[in-house]
């Protein structure tokens, strides 16, 4: 029984990328001794690669912790005919380089990326979703063909999961994949080589994991300033968390200070806050004799996004009182470092007051 006429080097790259290897596109003929059964239904089964093999994966960010649907799109690039011929690729897609004897995994990845640029604005031929916390694999029915498959990247709290694009042939044989297949754990393992057609190939969705962060800018405006009170500090507590209630997880907590010696504006940037967290900024100390000016719709709660700088603003004004050493706001530090009851003012003056220009 004849094997498919492909060079071994061509096949290894595909086996690494998607288990299923293909070559001989367009005018290159895939000659098989066994004719494809045109009545046999075809499908593609996807599963995530073993987390132990994923770049950047740890126990803390296992993909199985994500309870959501991950979308996998399939774009048909060429027909696989019943005699084993590979039809002409769709317009603009060049697959001929896959037949080169020195093709490697990097080239296959580049070819898949280039093919995606040609088809990304078109509707996928097939789409399926898989929930990694609930499903180990998912199958989708397809027609015979060469398919580009694209997994939608997603974020889960402070982690981003990025997937490789690759190509799968349906049907295929283990001769094409050089005797490899995907096992139930998402590992690529060896199997008996045969040029019998396999109509339901399984592919391992390869991915990498990266921690992602955003930042926050706190702006403080002091409208008026009493020089007799000296330099006035304003202290902000920044707390970032996921979820609410009993399931709340605090992932960032710190305090920042701005010192004012005249009316005006200052900012402080808070970097490296875990993305997708909710940040609450609290002015825990707003200077003796200064009060916050709060509008009805003002809030100091923001959501952090990857590589985006969120902003929040506080505005304070002199309250015409001189509480030197006391805090004329509701929140202030006590001996334990946190808020206590409000300290009432005991004197008033408007001398030496500067107003912001």
pTM of the model: 0.76
Q: Which of 57-61, 117-121, 230-234, 292-296 has maximum average pLDDT?
A: 117-121
Average pLDDT score over the chain: 79
Count of domains in the chain? Answer: 2
3-state secondary structure of 300: coil
Asked if the bond preceding 171 is cis, omega within 30° of 0, the reply is yes
Query: What is residue 307's predicted lDDT score, i.e. its pLDDT?
Result: 97
Residues 111, 198, single domain; the answer is yes
Query: What is residue 200's predicted lDDT score, i.e. its pLDDT?
Result: 92
**Distance in angstroms between the alpha carbons of the first and the last residue of the chain:** 90
% the chain with pLDDT above 90: 49
Instruction: Quote the CA–CA distance of 142 and 161 in Å, as a whole number.
Output: 26
- CATH code, domain with 311: 2.60.40.1140
Residues 220, 277, single domain; the answer is yes
101 pLDDT higher than 70? no
Angle at 300 between CA 325 and CA 326, to 5 degrees: 5
Query: What is residue 183's predicted lDDT score, i.e. its pLDDT?
Result: 64
Residues 110, 206, single domain; the answer is yes
The last residue of one of the domains, among 186, 210, 234, is 210
Q: Is residue 73 part of a domain?
A: yes
Q: Is residue 152 part of a domain?
A: yes
Query: What is residue 8's predicted lDDT score, i.e. its pLDDT?
Result: 36
pLDDT tens-digit series, residues 296-322? 456 799 999 999 999 999 998 887 655
Query: What is residue 96's predicted lDDT score, i.e. its pLDDT?
Result: 78
Tell me the two tokens of residue 95: 């697959």
Instruction: Quote the CA–CA distance of 243 and 235 in Å, as a whole number.
Output: 26
In the structure, what pLDDT confidence band is assigned to residue 227 with cuts at 50, 70 and 90?
confident
In the structure, what pLDDT confidence band is assigned to residue 184 with cuts at 50, 70 and 90?
low
Query: What is residue 107's predicted lDDT score, i.e. its pLDDT?
Result: 77
The last residue of one of the domains, among 210, 230, 258, is 210
Neighbours of 86 (CB within 10 A): 25
Residues 300, 350, single domain; the answer is yes
% the chain with pLDDT above 70: 71
Average pLDDT of span 67-90 = 90
Residues 217, 131, single domain; the answer is no
Q: Is residue 3 part of a domain?
A: no
Q: Which domain holds residue 175?
A: 8-210
Residues 253, 349, single domain; the answer is yes
Neighbours of 342 (CB within 10 A): 12
Average pLDDT of span 22-30 = 35
The last residue of one of the domains, among 172, 189, 210, is 210
- Write out the E strands in 143-248: 145-151, 154-156, 159-163, 166-170, 180-182, 188-190, 202-205, 207-211, 213-222, 224-226, 232-242
Residues 75, 217, single domain; the answer is no
DSSP 2: P
Q: Is residue 339 part of a domain?
A: yes
Q: Is residue 41 part of a domain?
A: yes
Residues 288, 326, single domain; the answer is yes
Residues 75, 221, single domain; the answer is no
Instruction: Quote the CA–CA distance of 227 and 262 in Å, as a whole number.
Output: 8
In the structure, what pLDDT confidence band is assigned to residue 51 with cuts at 50, 70 and 90?
confident
Residues 45, 173, single domain; the answer is yes
Residues 144, 79, single domain; the answer is yes
Residues 83, 224, single domain; the answer is no
User: Exposure string (b/e) for 39-61, b if CB count within 10 Å is 16 or more?
Assistant: eeebebebbbbbbeebeebeeeb
pLDDT tens-digit series, residues 125-170? 999 999 999 999 999 999 999 999 999 999 999 999 999 999 888 9
């Amino acid at each position: 029984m004849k094997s498919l006429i492909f060079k071994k080097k061509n096949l290894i790259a595909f086996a690494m990328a998607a288990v299923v290897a293909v070559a001989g596109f367009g005018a290159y003929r895939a000659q098989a001794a066994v004719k494809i059964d045109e009545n046999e239904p075809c499908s593609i089964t996807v599963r995530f690669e073993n987390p132990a093999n994923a770049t950047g994966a740890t126990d803390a960010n296992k993909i199985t912790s994500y309870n959501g649907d991950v979308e996998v799109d399939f774009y048909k690039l060429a027909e696989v005919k019943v005699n084993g011929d590979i039809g002409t690729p769709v317009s603009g897609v060049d697959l001929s380089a896959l037949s080169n004897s020195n093709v490697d995994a990097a080239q296959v990845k580049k070819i898949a990326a280039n093919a995606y640029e040609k088809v990304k604005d078109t509707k996928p031929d097939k789409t399926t979703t898989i929930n990694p916390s609930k499903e180990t694999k998912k199958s989708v029915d397809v027609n015979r063909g060469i398919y580009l498959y694209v997994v939608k990247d997603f974020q889960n709290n402070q982690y981003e999961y990025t997937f490789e694009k690759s190509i799968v042939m349906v049907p295929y044989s283990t001769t094409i994949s050089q005797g490899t297949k995907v096992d139930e754990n998402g590992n690529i393992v060896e199997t008996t080589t045969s040029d019998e057609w396999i109509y339901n190939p399984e592919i391992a969705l390869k991915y990498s994991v990266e921690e992602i962060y955003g930042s926050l800018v706190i702006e403080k405006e002091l409208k008026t300033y009493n020089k007799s009170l000296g330099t006035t500090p304003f202290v902000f507590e920044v707390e970032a968390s996921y979820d609410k209630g009993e399931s709340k997880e605090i992932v960032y907590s710190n305090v920042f200070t701005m010192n004012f010696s005249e009316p005006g504006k200052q900012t402080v940037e808070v970097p490296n806050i875990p993305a997708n967290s909710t940040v609450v900024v609290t002015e825990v100390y707003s200077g003796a004799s200064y009060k916050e000016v709060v509008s009805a719709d003002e809030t100091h709660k923001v959501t952090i996004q990857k590589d985006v700088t969120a902003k929040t603003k506080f505005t304070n004004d002199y309250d015409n009182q001189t509480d030197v050493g006391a805090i004329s706001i509701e929140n202030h530090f006590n001996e334990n470092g946190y808020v206590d009851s409000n300290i009432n003012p005991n004197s008033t003056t408007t001398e030496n007051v500067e107003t912001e220009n």
